[in-house]
C-alpha cells in the first residue's frame, strides 16, 4: 500500500529505478496547503464511502491523510514525521484521564437538549462554563477549554451590549415619536395660520403686504431632528445585526478550528454552547460549510451543527476502535500492522485521550521499529541496495508481519539491472566503444551507486592507460613462456589493456579458448573420477597432458587421480616405453593388459589396433631382423619353468 508509511520505505528503493508512483487513489493532495485543510477527493462516492474506516490511510510523503474518502492535509511531511516521532518518544501524559473525560462529558450533558430547559437555562450554562476551567487544569487539555470559556464569555458580554443597544434604541424611538408629534403639531399650526391669512385677504381686497407663513423654519429644524433620530435608530439596528453576526461567525470559526485541529471533544462542546447561546435563527452554518459538505458527497446536502457533531463523534469512535485494533495486533505479534494502525489513528485523533494515554512501553517498542524503518528508508533513498536486505531482515525480526519479500524482490531486480548495465559497459569498453561504456556505467551507478562492480570497473577504466604500458610486455612475456594459465587468470585485465590491439587480442582469445578447453577436460576427468571411473579419467588426463603438460591445474588433477590408477598408468607407461624402444609386440602385450583393466578405453583400443597391425605387417621381417635393444631389465634371468 502506497499510502502506508512503511511500504513507502520499500518503494523508496524503487525510485532508484525511476518507477513513477501514482497519486493516492481518490484523493487530491494539497501539497501547498496549511494544516487542517480539507479537500475533496473526487466527485464519486456515496453513503457507503462515508465512515468507511478501511479507507483511512496516511501518506507521509505528501503529509496527507485520507479519512472518510477525503484527503486531510497534515502539513509538511518532515513536520508530520517529527510529530509522530515525538509522540512515540515522549512519555505518556500524566493526569487522571477518566476524570478529564468525565468533566468534558458533564459539560456536554449540562448543555444537551435533554438537560437544559427554561428553568435551568442560565444555571446549566454557568455550571458548564465553570467546568471548563476545571477541564483546563488537565495537562492534556492544553487550555483549549479556556478558549471555549473566553468565547462563551465574549458572547455573554456581547449579549449585554446587545441589551444596552436595545434600550438605547427604544429611547431613540420614543424621542423620535415625540419629535414626530411636534412636527405634526407645528405643521397643523402653520396650515391654520395660512388658512386665516387667506380668508383675511379675501375680505379687505387691498392685499397688503404681510408675512406669508410663520413657523416653517422651526418646522424644518424639527424634521431634521426627527430624521437624525431615525438614522440613529437604524444605526443601532445595524450595530445589533453586526454584533450578532460577529458573535456567530466567531463561535462557528472556533468550532471549525477545533474540528480541523482534530480536537473533537472541544468541537462538540463549542457546538453545544453555540446551540444554547444562539437563537434558532442563527443555527445555520456560515463558516466551514463548504468543507463539511465535502465529507458528505451528496449534491444538495445542507451542513448543520449536527454535521459537525457527527464528524467529531465518528472521529472519536474511529480513534477508540483504532487503539483497540493496535492492542490486538500487538498481542498477536503483528507489530508492523500495529504500527500502521497506530500511525493512522494518531493522525486522526492526535489529541484524543486514548492516543495521549497510550502506554509508554508500547510506544518505545513502536519507536524502535520506526527507527529501523527510517533507516531502511534512508538506505532506499541513498540506493544502498547492498544493505537493504540486512535491514529488511532486522525489521522482520522485530515485526514478523513486515512485508519484506516485495522489497527484496525489487531490490534484487534493481541490483540485477545495475549489474547488467555494468556488463554492458564492460562489453562496450572491450569493443573500444567508450561513449557507450560511459553511458552504461553511468546507468549502472545511478541504479546502484555502491555496486562494488561499478567501483571496480571504474578503477579499471581509470587505470587503464597506466596499466596498458605494463600489461603489453607482461602479456608478451607470458606468451613466450607459454604460460597460458597465467594469461587466462588475468584475462579481463588483458582484455581491457589489449582492447585496441587486434593482433594481441586474437592471441588472447586463442589462449582463453585453449585454457577453457583444458579446464573442460580437467572437469571431465574429475567428474569421471568422482563417478568411480578412474581409468577413463586417466585416459582424459593422459590425452590432455600430451599438449598441456605445463599446466599446474592439470598436473594437480593428474597427481590426484594417479594413485587410483597406479597399475593402469604403469602399464600404459611401460607400453609406451616398449613401443618407443621398438618392441611393438611386447608393447601390444602391455596395452592388452591395460585394456583388460579398462575395456572401454578408446586410447587402449586405438593403441592395440595400431600395434597389432604393425606387428602383423612386420612379423616376418622381425623374425629375420636384428634383435631390438632389450629393455633395461635387471640382472635376474628368469629360469624357465621345468616341465
Partner 1 sequence: MSKINPLFFALGIPVVVIVILVAVVVPRMGGGGKFADLTPFSVEAYRKDWATLQGNSYRLDCQVEQQLAFVEGRGRVLAVKPIEKDPTRPAGRIPVFVPAGSADSFEVGQRFKCKLRVTRDLLVVEALERF
Residue 613 found at the interface with partner 1 (CB under 8 A): yes
**Angle of CA points 134, 138, 139, to nearest 5°:** 150
Query: Beta-carbon neighbour count of residue 411 at 10 Å?
Result: 26
Q: Decide whether 469 or 641 has the Cβ nearer to partner 1.
A: 641
Sign of CA dihedral 604, 610, 613, 615: negative
Residue 580 found at the interface with partner 1 (CB under 8 A): no
Q: Decide whether 117 or 623 has the Cβ nearer to partner 1.
A: 623
Q: Decide whether 154 or 577 has the Cβ nearer to partner 1.
A: 577
Q: Decide whether 43 or 616 has the Cβ nearer to partner 1.
A: 616
Residue 638 found at the interface with partner 1 (CB under 8 A): yes
**Min separation Cβ 566 and partner 1, Å:** 17
Q: HEC states along 521-538? A: HHHHHHHHHHCCCHHHHH
**Cα distance between residue 284 and residue 270, in whole Å:** 15
The answer to whether the CB of 379 falls within 8 A of the CB of 388 is: yes
Q: Measuring CA to CA, which residue among 148, 350, 151, 152 is closest to residue 263?
A: 350
**Which residues fall within 8 angstroms of residue 155, CB to CB, at 6 or more apart?**
247, 251, 273, 277, 278
Residue 423 found at the interface with partner 1 (CB under 8 A): no
**How many of the chain's residues bind partner 1 (CB under 8 A)?**
36
Q: Decide whether 344 or 584 has the Cβ nearer to partner 1.
A: 584
Q: Where are the beta strands (DSSP E) in 206-344?
A: none
Residue 113 found at the interface with partner 1 (CB under 8 A): no
Residue 630 found at the interface with partner 1 (CB under 8 A): yes
**Cα distance between residue 643 and residue 628, in whole Å:** 29
Residue 588 found at the interface with partner 1 (CB under 8 A): yes
**Min separation Cβ 505 and partner 1, Å:** 49
Residue 592 found at the interface with partner 1 (CB under 8 A): yes
**Cα distance between residue 261 and residue 316, in whole Å:** 13
Residue 445 found at the interface with partner 1 (CB under 8 A): no
Given the C-alpha cell 613462456, which residue does it identify? 481
For 333: left if phi > 0, alpha if psi spans -120 to 50, otherwise beta; the answer is left
Binding mask 380-409 vs partner 1 (x if CB under 8 A, - otherwise)? ------------------------------
Region binding partner 1 by CB under 8 A among candidate stretches 99-107, 136-144, 233-241, 591-599: 591-599
Q: Decide whether 113 or 629 has the Cβ nearer to partner 1.
A: 629
Residue 586 found at the interface with partner 1 (CB under 8 A): yes
Region binding partner 1 by CB under 8 A among candidate stretches 229-237, 246-254, 504-512, 625-633: 625-633
| Among 259, 541, 583, 603, contact with partner 1 (rule: CB under 8 A) | 583
Residue 417 found at the interface with partner 1 (CB under 8 A): no
**Cα distance between residue 68 and residue 51, in whole Å:** 5
Residue 627 found at the interface with partner 1 (CB under 8 A): yes
Region binding partner 1 by CB under 8 A among candidate stretches 367-375, 422-430, 540-548, 577-585: 577-585
Instruction: Name the packing angle between helices 566-581 and 534-545 (round to 10°).
Output: 40
**Min separation Cβ 615 and partner 1, Å:** 5
**Min separation Cβ 639 and partner 1, Å:** 9
Output phi, psi for 628, to 5 deg.
Answer: -70, 160
Sign of CA dihedral 490, 493, 497, 502: positive
Q: Decide whether 398 or 610 has the Cβ nearer to partner 1.
A: 610
Residue 590 found at the interface with partner 1 (CB under 8 A): yes
**Which residues fall within 8 angstroms of residue 529, CB to CB, at 6 or more apart?**
537, 560, 561, 564
| Among 105, 476, 506, 617, contact with partner 1 (rule: CB under 8 A) | 617
**Min separation Cβ 606 and partner 1, Å:** 12
Residue 246 found at the interface with partner 1 (CB under 8 A): no
**Cα distance between residue 86 and residue 356, in whole Å:** 12
Q: Decide whether 435 or 616 has the Cβ nearer to partner 1.
A: 616
**Cα distance between residue 310 and residue 267, in whole Å:** 11
DSSP per-residue letters across 75-135: --HHHHHHHHHHHHHSPPPPS-HHHHHHHHHHHHHHHSTTT--TTTHHHHHHHHHHHHHHH
Residue 616 found at the interface with partner 1 (CB under 8 A): yes
Contact footprint for partner 1 (CB under 8 A): 578, 583-586, 588-590, 592-593, 595-596, 608-609, 612-613, 615-617, 619-620, 622-623, 625, 627-628, 630-631, 633-634, 637-638, 640-643
Amino acid at each position: 500500500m502506497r499510502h502506508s508509511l512503511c511500504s513507502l520505505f520499500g518503494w523508496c528503493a524503487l525510485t532508484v529505478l525511476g518507477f513513477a508512483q501514482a497519486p493516492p487513489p481518490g484523493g487530491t493532495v494539497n501539497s501547498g496547503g496549511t494544516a487542517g485543510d480539507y479537500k475533496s477527493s473526487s466527485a464519486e462516492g456515496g453513503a457507503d464511502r462515508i465512515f468507511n474506516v478501511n479507507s483511512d490511510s496516511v501518506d507521509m510523503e505528501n503529509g496527507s491523510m485520507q479519512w472518510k474518502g477525503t484527503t486531510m492535509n497534515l502539513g509538511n511531511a518532515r513536520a508530520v514525521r517529527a510529530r509522530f516521532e515525538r509522540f512515540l518518544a515522549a512519555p505518556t501524559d500524566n493526569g487522571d484521564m477518566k476524570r478529564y473525560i468525565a468533566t468534558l462529558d458533564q459539560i456536554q450533558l449540562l448543555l444537551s437538549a435533554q438537560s437544559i430547559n427554561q428553568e435551568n437555562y442560565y444555571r446549566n450554562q454557568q455550571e458548564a462554563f465553570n467546568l471548563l476551567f476545571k477541564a483546563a487544569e488537565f495537562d492534556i487539555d492544553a487550555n483549549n477549554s479556556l478558549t471555549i470559556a473566553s468565547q462563551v464569555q465574549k458572547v455573554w458580554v456581547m449579549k449585554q451590549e446587545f441589551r444596552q443597544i436595545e434600550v438605547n434604541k427604544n429611547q431613540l424611538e420614543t424621542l423620535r415619536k415625540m419629535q414626530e408629534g411636534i412636527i405634526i403639531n407645528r405643521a397643523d399650526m402653520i396650515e391654520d395660520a395660512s388658512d386665516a391669512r387667506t380668508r383675511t385677504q379675501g375680505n379687505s381686497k387691498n392685499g397688503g403686504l404681510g408675512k406669508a407663513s410663520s413657523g416653517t423654519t422651526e418646522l424644518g429644524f424639527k424634521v431634521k431632528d426627527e430624521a437624525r433620530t431615525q438614522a440613529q435608530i437604524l444605526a443601532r439596528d445595524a450595530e445589533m445585526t453586526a454584533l450578532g453576526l460577529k458573535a456567530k461567525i466567531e463561535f462557528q470559526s472556533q468550532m471549525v478550528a477545533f474540528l480541523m485541529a482534530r480536537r473533537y471533544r472541544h468541537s462538540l462542546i463549542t457546538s453545544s454552547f453555540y446551540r444554547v447561546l444562539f437563537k434558532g435563527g442563527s443555527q445555520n452554518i456560515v463558516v466551514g460549510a463548504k468543507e463539511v459538505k465535502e465529507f458528505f458527497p451528496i449534491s444538495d446536502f445542507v451542513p448543520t451543527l449536527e454535521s459537525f457533531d457527527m464528524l467529531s463523534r465518528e472521529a472519536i469512535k474511529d480513534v477508540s476502535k483504532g487503539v483497540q485494533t493496535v492492542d490486538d495486533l500487538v498481542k498477536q505479534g503483528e507489530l508492523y500492522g500495529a504500527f500502521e494502525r497506530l500511525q493512522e489513528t494518531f493522525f486522526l485523533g492526535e489529541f484524543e485521550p486514548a492516543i495521549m494515554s497510550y502506554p509508554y512501553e508500547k510506544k518505545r517498542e513502536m519507536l524502535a521499529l520506526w527507527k529501523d524503518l527510517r533507516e531502511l528508508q534512508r538506505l532506499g533513498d541513498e540506493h544502498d541496495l547492498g544493505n537493504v536486505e540486512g535491514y529488511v531482515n532486522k525489521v522482520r525480526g522485530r515485526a514478523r508481519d513486515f512485508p519484506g519479500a516485495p522489497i527484496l524482490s525489487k531490490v534484487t531486480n534493481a541490483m540485477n539491472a545495475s549489474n547488467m548495465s555494468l556488463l554492458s559497459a564492460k562489453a562496450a569498453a572491450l569493443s573500444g566503444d567508450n561513449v557507450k561504456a560511459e553511458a552504461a556505467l553511468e546507468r549502472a551507478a545511478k541504479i546502484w551507486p555502491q555496486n562494488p562492480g561499478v567501483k571496480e570497473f571504474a578503477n579499471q577504466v581509470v587505470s587503464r592507460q597506466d596499466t596498458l604500458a605494463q600489461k603489453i610486455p607482461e602479456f608478451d612475456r607470458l606468451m613466450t613462456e607459454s604460460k597460458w594459465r597465467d594469461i587466462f587468470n588475468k584475462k579481463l585485465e588483458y582484455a581491457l589493456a589489449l582492447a585496441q590491439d587486434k593482433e594481441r587480442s586474437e592471441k588472447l582469445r586463442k589462449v582463453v579458448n585453449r585454457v577453457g578447453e583444458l579446464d573442460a577436460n580437467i572437469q571431465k576427468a574429475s567428474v569421471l573420477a568422482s563417478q568411480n571411473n578412474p581409468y577413463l579419467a586417466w585416459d582424459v588426463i593422459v590425452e590432455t597432458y600430451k599438449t598441456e603438460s605445463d599446466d599446474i591445474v592439470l598436473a594437480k588433477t593428474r597427481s590426484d587421480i594417479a594413485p587410483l590408477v597406479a597399475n593402469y598408468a604403469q602399464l600404459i607407461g611401460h607400453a609406451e616405453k616398449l613401443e618407443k624402444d621398438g618392441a611393438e609386440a611386447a608393447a601390444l602385450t602391455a596395452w592388452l593388459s591395460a585394456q583388460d583393466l579398462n575395456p572401454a578405453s578408446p586410447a587402449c583400443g586405438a593403441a592395440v589396433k595400431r600395434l597389432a597391425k604393425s606387428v602383423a605387417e612386420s612379423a616376418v621381417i622381425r623374425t629375420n631382423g636384428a634383435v631390438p635393444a632389450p629393455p633395461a631389465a635387471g640382472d635376474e634371468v628368469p629360469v624357465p619353468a621345468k616341465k
